[in-house]
Structure 1
Amino acid sequence: MQQLIPLTCFFDSIKRPTAQQISQVKQYFWKTSFSNRYTSGQSNAKMDSDIERIKEIADGESNVFSSYEYTVTENTLINTKFSKANPLTRAFLLLMAQYHPVDLVKNQRVDLGTSLASYNRKEYHHVFPQAYLKSKSVHHDDIFCVLNFCFLSSDSNKAISRKAPSTYFETLVPQDTFTDVLSSNVLPINKTIYQKDDYKTFIDRRASEVVSKIDELTA
């Protein structure tokens, strides 16, 4: 991740950053994470440019990254297959982590240290279970859409297994904290989507939710 070098320069040159400086560097991180800045060529030149802008922050400049824009769209997310080798998947996971996800079944904060570990593949859950979608003849790439994933403990994952959302969102997800639990996972809170096992609407709505969160993080 080439962003690490400009970020290292930031913390090396600014020992006690102000809240405004932290806000600017966060804006830089999220805008570049959800763009093709480092995947569209000339990455070294772009990194050098970013380092120069970091120095401007150290010199007291504001709105240094206002000209940067994220390029991810709802369609981009819908067409992205989950893979930890994919920069967009990694950015998506980090975005999810920002909202302190709560386990859908246990109603407890997910241990992100465990979930984000590179060796751990059991802490990612298909919201619409893989086996369930396969039984409905949903295409493999659609099943593995990045938007169909959330953090979940392996125990809860096993409890859900291949159950249809219309079943497990009713019987396993705590109803008294339903909205809070789903919101913490940036999931649509409309129960009808799950009651109808409406995968397409789920993906479309979640794409919209995620882009809204990107807007918040890059504002």
Structure 2
Amino acid sequence: MATNTFILLLAQAKPLNFIQGTNISLQDVLSQGNRKEFHHIFPKAHLQRLENQYKDEQINCLANFSVLSRTDNNKIKDQSPSKYRSEMPTDDQILDQILATHFCPINVFTDDYESFLTSRAELLLKKAKELSQVI
């Protein structure tokens, strides 16, 4: 139930592709049983290579997932966010727009995973509270 709610929260922001900056097809993403478009913002392989290896539950927590196209995910592969940043648009306004549609804080590019998780969880919680006030 929490995962479904999380997916709907992400979808309502009309996420943009990380690298291309184009709209992600939510019809494909939200089709029943489709989990192929949900990817780690901090790639799993990258986190597993770090000295203080994170446990699976830390890597696979909801705050590290977003809707990313398979094409973008393949370009990102196992790179740290600071490395795949060079694949993203150079225009700061476009970058900010992309990150906003993913509730992704700019500190993602500092490669500090724990700080990122805290910041992103706060953004997600803020949006969830905002949406719950609408009713």
RMSD of aligned C-alpha atoms? Answer: 1.1
* Counterpart for residue 21 of structure 2: 107
Aligned to 1:167: 83
Structure-2 residue corresponding to 1:156: 72
The answer to whether residue 119 in structure 2 is matched with residue 208 in structure 1 is no
Task: Report the counterpart of residue 124 of structure 1 in structure 2.
Answer: 38
Q: Please, what TM-score do these two structures have when normalized by structure 2?
A: 0.90
Cα separation, 2, equivalents of 1:101 and 1:111: 9
Q: Corresponding residue for 1:187?
A: 104
Deviation at 1:172, TM superposition (A): 1.3
Q: How does 1:1-219 map to 2 (within 5 A)?
A: 87-136=1-50, 137-169=53-85, 171-176=86-91, 177-188=94-105, 190=106, 193-219=107-133
> d(CA) in 1 for partners of 2:109 and 2:64?
16
Q: Tell me the CA shift for residue 96 of structure 1.
A: 0.7
Distance 2:82 2:26 in 1: 27
Within 2, Cα distance between the matches of 1:125 and 1:113?
A: 17
- Unpaired runs of 5+ residues, structure 2, are none
**Larger RCO of the pair (alpha carbons < 8 Å, separation 6+):** 2
Which runs of at least 4 in structure 1 moved beyond 3 Å after TM superposition? none
Secondary structure, in 3 states, of the residue corresponding to 1:174?
coil
Query: TM-score if structure 1 supplies the norm length?
Result: 0.57
For structure 1, the residue ranges without an aligned partner over 5 or more in a row are 1-86
Aligned residue for 2:119, secondary structure, equals: helix
Q: Any idea what the Cα deviations from partners look like across 1:159-209, whole Å, max 9, x if unmatched? A: 11001111002x112131110000011111x2xx23321100111011110
Q: Any idea what the Cα deviations from partners look like across 1:128-174, whole Å, max 9, x if unmatched?
A: 001001111111110000110111111111111001111002x1121
1:90-125 CA-partner distances (Å, limit 9, x unpaired): 101101111110010111011011112233222111
Identity of aligned residues (%): 33
